[in-house]
Structure 1
Amino acid sequence: MTTPESSGEPFAEAAGEAVQTAVMSVKLVMAIADAVRRHQQRQKKGAEEEPPPAEEAKEDAKAELKDILPADVSMALLSGADWPQLAQQLMALKKAGVDLEQLLPRVGEIAVTVRDQVAANAERVAKEGTGEWERMLRETLPAGPVREAILSSPTWPDIAATMAQLDERGVDVRKILASAHDEGLGVDQAVAKVIAAGEAPATSRDALLSWGPLTDGLDVPKELDLNDRDRALRQLAISPQENARYARMLKDALPPAYGREADLAVTAKQWPLVAARMAKMESEKKPVAEHLAGLAKDVSWTQGPNEQVGSRLVQATNHVLRHAPGEAPPAARPKVSTTAARSQSSTVGPTKTQAAKGAAPAEAGVAAHRQTGPVTRPGKTK
C-alpha cells in the first residue's frame, strides 16, 4: 500500500515516532523486569548472576521474539544500538527461571497499545507531572519488591528518563507501570522459586511491630526494614528531597525552643512511617502544615523520660496527622503488645480492614495494635 505523496512524509514521521515509542515501552518493561531479577538475586544469593555473552544472547533472544511483536516494532528493536544489552536482559530472565512464553506476549500487547495510542494522538499533550517520578511510583504501584527494586536499581535514573519521554509523547505512563508491576511480580516469584524453592517471604519484625496507628491506612511492605533508613525510605517511595522537606515542615510547626526534639524525631527509627503519611496526605491534597500545627497546641508529648522524647514526638506527629486540623483529642499513650505481635503468623501481614478503629484486646494470633489503656490481669480486682 502506498501513501499519497503530499502526506507521505508527515505520515511516515508520525508512524516512526509511534514505533519508537512502542520500542521505548518494551525497554521500560524489560528494564523493570531485569531490575526485579537483579534485586531478588542480590537479596537471596548476595550477588547477581552474570548475563550470557551478547552474541549468543542476540541469537537466542531473536528466536524468542519471533512472531511475538509486530514486524515494525520488532525491526526497530533488533536494529537498535542497545539490542545486545536488551537481549542479555531477556536471556538472563529466562536463565533465572522466568517463563518467556508467558511474559513476552504480554509485553507485545503493551507495545501494540502504546504504538496505536501515539499514532492516534494528533498532537502532544502538555507534560503533566513535575519530574517527581518517585511520587508517581508511590501513587501507582503498591509497596513491595517491584517498587523497591525499581528505586534501588542503578538504572533508576534511566527508567525515570524513559517515563518522562513516554509522558511527553502522550502515553499513559501509569497504565504501563501497572502492567509492568504485574509482570515484575511474576519475575520476582519466578526468580525466588529458583533461588529458594518458592519459599514465601516472612513478614518482617518491623512490619509486625509497626502495625497499628503508625501504619493505619498506609501502603507498607511486608519486608519493611526500619533498621536501614535509606532502604526504608525507598520501600515507602520517599525521595531524600521529600524526606528533608517533611523534616523541615515538622521543625517549622514547633516553637524554636523545640528544635532539638524535632531533630530527635526525624532520626527516630519509625520516622519514615510519618514521612510516608505526610506524602500520602499531600497526594490527597490535605493540608499537612495545618495538621502539624496541633503539635504546638498540645505539648503533652514533652512529658516523660528525656531519652524517649523523639519517639514520643513521632507518635504525637502521627496523632495530629490522623485527625482534622485542630480536632485531635488529647493524645493517648498506645500500648503495643510485643508478645501478641510476635505471635502473628509470618504469612499474614497487616491489612486495611484489620486496622479498623476500636480493636479488642489482643488474644493469641490477634492484632494488639489498638490497645490504649491498662490491661486488666486475670485474678486481680480493685
Structure 2
Amino acid sequence: MMGTPVPEERASEAFTDAAAEAAQTATMAFRLMMAIADAVRRQQLKKAGKEEQLPDAEKSAVEASAEIKKFLPDDIATALLEGADWPQLAQQLMALKSAGVDLEAMLPRVGEITVDVRDQVAANAEKVKREGTEEWEKALRETLSAGPVREAILSSPAWPEMARDMAAINDRGVDVRALLAAAHEEGVGVDQAVAKVLAAGEAATTSRDAMLSYGPLTNGLDIPKDLDLEDRARALRQQLSVGPGENRRYMRMVREALPGAERDVDALVTSRQWPLIAARMAHMEDKGQPVAEHLARLSKDTSWQEGPASQVGRRLVQAANDALRKPVGAPVEPRESRARVDTSAARSTSPSVDPTKAAAKGTSAATASPGVAAHREAGSAPKSGKTR
C-alpha cells in the first residue's frame, strides 16, 4: 500500500502539472497562429485559382520537426511533436514554406509569443468565464482591422475550432486580444509572401456592386473591389466582416427604432444594400459611436415614407445611411431643402446609372449641383479599389 505523499511531493506534482498545463496552452497558441497563417495561405491560393496540394505528410514531419526544435523551447517543441495533430501541423508548416514564407524569420517570432503565453498561464491559474463563438467574432473585429487576415479567419472552415481555442486560452488567463494582434502581423506577412509567389499583385477587376455602391453608402468603409451583394451571407461575413449574430442584432436595432413599421423594416433588411448598412453599424460600434441614437432619427424624419410603396426599401436604405452618418442631435432639414438635395444626389448615385456613363456626360451636371461631394464623382472609383 502506498503511503500518503509528503508535502514536498505534492508541491512537486502540482508544479509539474502547472508546467505541463502552461506548455500545452502555449502549443494551443502556436496551433492557433499556424491555423491563421494557413487560412491566409489558402485564401491566396483560392483567389489565384490554384488548387490545394499539401506536401507529403511523412517528409513534412521530418523537415518540420527540425525547424520546430531549432526555434522553439524544448517543452513547447516536445508538446507539439507528441501531439496527435502533429502530422497535419507539419504539413501546414511545409506548405507555408513552399508558398514562400520564410520560416526561419517567422518561427522565432511565433516562439517568443508562445513563451509569453506559457509564462502567463504559469503566473495566472485563475479561470475566467468561457465566452461563446459570437463573442470571439466581436473580439476579432475589435482587435483586427478589416482586411485579408480577418477575412481569411472568418471564412476558414477551421474558424469554430479557432474560436474554441481562443476561449480555452482565455480561460487560462492569457490576453487573447494581444495574441490575436501579434498573430495578425504574422498573417499580414504570410499574405504578402504568398501573394508575391503567386504573382497575385495584379489589379483586380472592380465588381459592378462595388462600382454602383461607391458614394455615400460606402464612404469611410473598407469595401473590397470584388464586392458581391448577390451572395449576402458571403458579403456580410467574409467581405464586410459582419457575423450572423451581429447582423441579427443590427436588424433588431432597426426594428426597435421603427416600432409598428414592420413591413417597411422588412423591405430595408431584405434589400440588396442592407449588408452595407450593417457594415456601417459595425464600423460605428468599432469607434464607440451610439448606433441606436443615430437610428432614432428614422422615426423623427419620416420623409422616407413618401413615394411609391414598391421603393420604400430603397428610400429606407438612403434614410438609414443618412441617419447613421449625421451627428446625433443634428437638426432635420426642411422638407423643401431635402427634396432638392435628394433629387440631385439621386441623379449622381442612382444604381440604374453606370458611373462611367455618368462621367461621359461632362462636368456640367457636377457644376450645377454644388451639393454633390467630389468623392462621389464616377471617375474616381477605379483608382484605389476600395471606398474610403
**1:150 and 2:153 equivalent?**
yes
Alignment partner of 1:23 out of 12, 27, 42: 27
- In the alignment, what sits opposite 1:375? none
Question: 1:5-25 CA deviation, whole Å, 9 max, x = no partner?
Answer: 453122212211111111011
> How big is each residue's C-alpha offset from its partner over 1:294-346, in whole Å with a ceiling of 9 and x where there is no partner?
21221111234544321220111121223344535336523546249989xxx
Aligned pair 1:225/2:259, yes or no? no
Among 213, 216, 234, the alignment partner of 1:213 is: 216
SS at match of 1:66: helix
Letter aligned with residue 31 of structure 1: A
* Alignment-derived partner of residue 251 in structure 2: 247
Give the equivalent residue in structure 1 for 2:143.
Answer: 140
2:96 alignment partner AA: L
Aligned pair partner of 1:319 in 318, 322, 335: 322
What's 1:183 paired with?
Answer: 186
Can you list the C-alpha shifts for 1:246-305, whole angstroms capped at 9, x where unaligned? 22332332253x433322211222211211222344455554333323212211112345
- Alignment CA distance shift 1:113-1:200 (3 Å): farther
Quote the Cα distance in structure 1 between the aligned partners of 2:161 and 2:203: 31
Aligned to 1:84: 87
Query: Take 1:291 and 1:215, find their aligned partners in 2: how far apart are those partners?
Result: 17
Counterpart residue identity of residue 113, structure 1 = D
**Contact 2:124 2:173 (C-alpha < 8 Å) held by counterparts:** yes
1:274-289 to 2 correspondence within 5 Å? 274-283=277-286, 286-289=289-292
CA contact (8 A) 2:133 2:164 kept: no
Cα separation, partners in 2 of 1:48 and 1:136, compared to 1, 3 Å:
farther
Native 8 Å contact 1:143 1:220 kept in 2: no
Alpha-carbon distance change, 150 to 130 in structure 1, aligned in 2, over 3 angstroms: closer
Change (3 A) 1:269 1:36: same
Structure 2 runs not aligned, ≥5 long: 1-6, 350-354, 361-370, 383-388
- Looking at structure 2, the residues matched to 145 and 27 of structure 1 have their Cα atoms a distance apart, in angstroms, of 19
Q: Which amino acid aligns with 2:272?
A: K
Q: Are the structure 2 counterparts of residues 207 and 251 from structure 1 closer, same or farther at C-alpha, using a change threshold of 3 Å?
A: same
Residue 181 of structure 1: CA displacement?
1.4
Change (3 A) 1:201 1:189: farther
**Structure 1: 5+ residue runs without aligned partners?**
344-356, 369-382
Return the offset for 1:236.
2.2
Q: Which moved more, 1:58-67 or 1:317-326?
A: 317-326
Aligned-partner Cα distance in 2 for 1:216–1:129:
32
Post-superposition CA distance 1:82-131 (Å, at most 9, x none) = 10110011111112222222221221121111112222225345557885
In structure 1, the residue matched to 2:3 is none
**1:33 and 2:61 aligned:** no
2:176 aligned residue: 173
Matched, 1:50 2:61: no
> Normalising to structure 2: TM-score of the pair?
0.80
* Letter in structure 2 aligned against 1:329: V
1:96 corresponds, among 93, 99, 106, to 99
Secondary structure in structure 1 of the residue aligned to 2:228? coil
Identity of aligned residues (%): 62
Structure-2 change in CA distance of 1:64 and 1:198 (3 Å) = farther
Instruction: State the shift of 1:70 in Å.
Output: 0.6
Verify the 8 A CA contact 1:25 1:111 in the aligned structure 2: yes
Q: Which amino acid aligns with 1:84?
A: P
Q: Does 1:308 align with 2:311?
A: yes
In structure 1, distance between residues paired with 2:183 and 2:174: 14
Are the counterparts in 2 of residues 232 and 272 from structure 1 also a CA contact under 8 Å?
yes
Distance in structure 2 (CA, Å) of the matches to 1:252 and 1:223: 33
Deviations, residues 9-60 of structure 1 (Å, cap 9, x unaligned): 2221221111111101100000011111112212221x54121232121001
Deviation larger for 261-270 or 197-206:
197-206
More helix by share: 2
- Kept in 1, the 8 Å contact 2:268–2:314? The answer is yes
The corresponding residue for 2:18 is 14
- List aligned pairs for 1:290-369, cutoff 5 A: 290-327=293-330, 329-330=332-333, 332-333=341-342, 334-335=345-346, 336=348, 338-339=355-356, 359-360=373-374
Instruction: Give the conservation status (yes or no) of the 8 Å contact 2:301–2:332.
Output: no
1:271 is the counterpart of 2:274: yes
The 8 Å contact of residues 340 and 362 in structure 1, kept in 2 or not, is answered as no
State the partner residue of 1:348: none
Superposition CA RMSD, Å? 3.1
Question: 1:354 matched to which residue of 2?
Answer: none
Amino acid at match of 1:232: A
Secondary structure in 2 matching 1:214: coil
Distance 2:270 2:328 in 1: 25
Contact 1:144 1:222 in 2 (8 A): no
1:73 alignment counterpart:
76
- Asked if 2 retains the 8 angstrom alpha-carbon contact of 1:35 and 1:149, the reply is yes
Structure 1 moving runs of 4+ over 6 Å = 340-343, 361-364
The change in CA–CA distance for 1:103 and 1:201 in structure 2 (over 3 A counts) is: farther
- 1:283–1:52 Cα change, 3 Å: same
SS of the counterpart of 1:25?
Answer: helix
In terms of mean alpha carbon deviation, does 198-207 or 63-72 score higher?
A: 198-207
